[in-house]
């Protein structure tokens, strides 16, 4: 695999570093050669062209956004052009409607239901083709995943599975109810980089990346923010 970023491309993709699967996303961005950083406070948003809100516990993340006064900051930078990708819990925070609960950021017209597949024991793996993202089959990991039950007319459905939507987007937002960062696949991280306007030159990016070791991200846990 050969991946590089065209030089002098401005802007950074941030990963919200409050709770959840932060390091795994950072490692995938690093593998693609994308500029990245952890995001914890207001000043971290200044140069962001994209923000990933990782999987974790959505209620906890929503409370932390309030505690650290980041909700309005995220909304401000979104409206000035920053793209946002929410995975699993991140998708819940971005949804306009949450079944049985209050919504948080309300940046994409979807209705979503928490823990739609059951408990942790009902987590599963599968694979699917997502033509807008990759011409290869993509591995998918669902962990206490939500389901997107419906989408508004301005929302593009990227992946429909059985009776629910698993991935969708509008002009500024990408949501996935599964965890691309837990597989070796770089396809969704590359797709988000392109959505952010990064000029990626990519050759032979394999959707499977069979040589990837899922412990390789742990080195990033030792890097100071």
> Which residue among 23, 28, 77, 179 is the active-site one?
179
Residue of 181, 185, 189, 196 marked catalytic = 181
Q: What is the DSSP string of 98-128?
A: ETTB--SS--EEEEEETTTT-SGGG-EEEEE
Q: Is 203 a catalytic residue?
A: no
Annotated active-site residue 113? The verdict is no
> Is 30 assigned a catalytic role?
no
Choosing from 88, 104, 185, 196, the catalytic residue is 88
Rounded CA separation 15/90 (Å): 11
Token couple for 145 = 């995943």
Q: Which residues are catalytic?
A: 88, 179, 181
């Amino acid at each position: 695999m050969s991946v590089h970023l065209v030089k002098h491309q401005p802007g950074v993709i941030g990963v919200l570093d409050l709770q959840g699967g932060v390091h795994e996303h950072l490692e995938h961005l690093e593998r693609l050669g994308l500029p990245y950083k952890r995001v914890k406070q207001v000043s971290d948003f200044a140069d962001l062209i994209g923000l990933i809100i990782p999987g974790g516990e959505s209620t906890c993340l929503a409370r932390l956004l309030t505690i650290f006064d980041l909700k309005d900051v995220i909304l401000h930078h979104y409206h000035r052009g920053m793209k946002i990708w929410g995975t699993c819990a991140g998708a819940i925070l971005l949804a306009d409607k949450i079944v049985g609960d209050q919504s948080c950021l309300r940046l994409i017209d979807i209705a979503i239901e928490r823990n739609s597949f059951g408990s942790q024991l009902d987590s599963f793996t599968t694979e699917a083709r997502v033509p807008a993202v990759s011409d290869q089959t993509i591995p998918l990991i669902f962990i206490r995943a939500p389901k997107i039950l419906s989408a508004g007319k301005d929302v593009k459905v990227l992946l429909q599975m059985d009776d629910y939507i698993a991935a969708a987007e509008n002009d500024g937002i990408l949501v996935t109810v599964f965890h691309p960062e837990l597989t070796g696949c770089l396809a969704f991280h590359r797709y988000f980089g392109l959505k952010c306007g990064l000029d990626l030159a990519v050759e032979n990016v394999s959707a499977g990346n069979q040589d990837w070791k899922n412990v390789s991200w742990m080195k990033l846990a030792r890097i100071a923010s």
